[in-house]
């Protein structure tokens, strides 16, 4: 019997997200500092013939049809590049909200690729792996290593791993899905133009936490205003987080509706979580380290 392998699929958090412009082919040029949570979905693989996916957990229903899931798409893309690739039975325990701006599906796909690497004894640096990631989705490449780094282009250009200090966060989703393409459409950046919203501060390796906080405050998420017009509750979430005692920064992640707040310590984050859940018991609220 094949041994079942497992991988965590953490949430992807855009600490910054600058929209630099829009290319003639329609893709938006981005510059974003991306980090990952310590928890998220859980994906397992029992290697074997064929390709199947079973989804369970609190987010299973929202994950959609299994055949359309990015886990299966990633597996098929790698199989198209690696002759004789062993696939098998995937099981996804879905905890992260979908269409939430935290790359849940992309992280699941990256976890599938990591599992297939292990099952087939491939090298993690095999270029076919990154090719399959790019073919699966714009955020899948950065989710492969799931480490803090700059992401540019439309997500395909990755800077070096930065080794950022762990950041204590509170991540909140009001359980309102927001489609990325709707937010970009609302921003209405013309083809072949630049936005000139302002430069992204330089983020280097080895930063101390306070210096990183300072740089983050000088940056932004350019999709936030457009997302708030589509889902006004995002503004409510940001206001609640910003008002929490000890909050150092409150911002939306990705295209929303998930927002995050950074705190100096876990006690302040835990107090804020308790207060928010008391007032909004239907929201998805998690305390997590980011790095």
Place of tokens 């957990």: 57
Closest of 71, 68, 9 to residue 40, by C-alpha? 9
Q: Where are the beta strands (DSSP E) in 73-225?
A: 87-93, 149-153, 157-158, 167-173, 193-194
Q: What is the mean pLDDT of each run of 10 residues along the chain (291 residues)?
A: 91 98 96 96 97 94 80 98 98 95 97 98 96 96 97 94 96 96 97 96 93 97 98 98 98 98 97 98 97 92
* Domain boundaries along the sequence of the chain: 5-158, 167-290
Residue 209 buriedness (CB in 10 A; 0-12 / 13-18 / 19+): middle
At 1 the pLDDT is 56
At 225 the pLDDT is 98
Closest of 288, 291, 254, 255 to residue 270, by C-alpha? 288
At 243 the pLDDT is 97
At 218 the pLDDT is 97
Cβ 9 vs Cβ 55: under 8 Å: no
Strands 51-56 and 87-93, by their bridges, are parallel
SS3 category, 153: strand
Per CATH, the number for 167-290 is 3.30.70.890
**5-158 domain in CATH 3.30.230.10?**
yes
Helix (H) or strand (E) holding 250: strand 247-252
- The reported pTM is 0.95
Catalytic residues: 12, 139
Question: 175: alpha, beta or left, given left = phi > 0 and alpha = psi -120 to 50?
Answer: left
At 68 the pLDDT is 81
Helix (H) or strand (E) holding 42: strand 28-48
SS3 category, 114: helix
Cβ 75 vs Cβ 67: under 8 Å: no
Q: Give the separation between CA 272 and CA 278, rounded to whole angstroms.
A: 10
Q: Give the separation between CA 198 and CA 222, rounded to whole angstroms.
A: 10
């Amino acid at each position: 019997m094949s041994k079942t392998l497992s991988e965590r699929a953490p949430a992807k958090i855009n600490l910054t997200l600058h929209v630099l412009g829009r290319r003639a082919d329609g893709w938006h040029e981005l510059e974003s500092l991306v980090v990952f949570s310590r928890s998220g979905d859980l994906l397992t693989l029992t290697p074997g013939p064929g390709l199947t996916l079973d989804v369970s957990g609190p987010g299973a229903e929202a994950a959609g049809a299994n055949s359309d899931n990015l886990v299966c798409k990633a597996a098929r893309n790698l199989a198209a590049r690696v002759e004789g690739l062993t696939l098998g039975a995937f099981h996804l325990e879905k905890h992260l909200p979908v269409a939430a701006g935290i790359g849940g599906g992309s992280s699941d796909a990256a976890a599938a690729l990591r599992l297939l690497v292990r099952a087939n004894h491939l090298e993690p640096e095999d270029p076919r792996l990154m090719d399959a990631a790019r073919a699966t989705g714009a955020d899948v490449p950065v989710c492969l290593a799931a480490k803090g780094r700059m992401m540019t282009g439309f997500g395909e250009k990755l800077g070096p791993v930065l080794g950022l200090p762990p950041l204590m966060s509170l991540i909140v989703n009001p359980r309102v899905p927001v489609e990325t393409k709707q937010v970009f459409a609302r921003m209405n950046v013309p083809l072949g133009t630049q936005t000139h919203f302002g430069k992204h501060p330089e983020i280097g390796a080895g930063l101390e936490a306070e210096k990183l906080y300072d740089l983050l405050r000088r940056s932004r998420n350019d999709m936030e205003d457009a997302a708030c017009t589509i889902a006004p509750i995002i503004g409510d979430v940001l206001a609640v987080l910003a008002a929490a005692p000890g909050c150092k920064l409150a911002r939306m992640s990705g295209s929303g509706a998930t927002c995050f707040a950074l705190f100096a310590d876990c006690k302040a984050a835990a107090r804020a979580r308790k207060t928010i859940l008391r007032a909004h018991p239907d929201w998805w609220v998690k305390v997590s380290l980011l790095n």
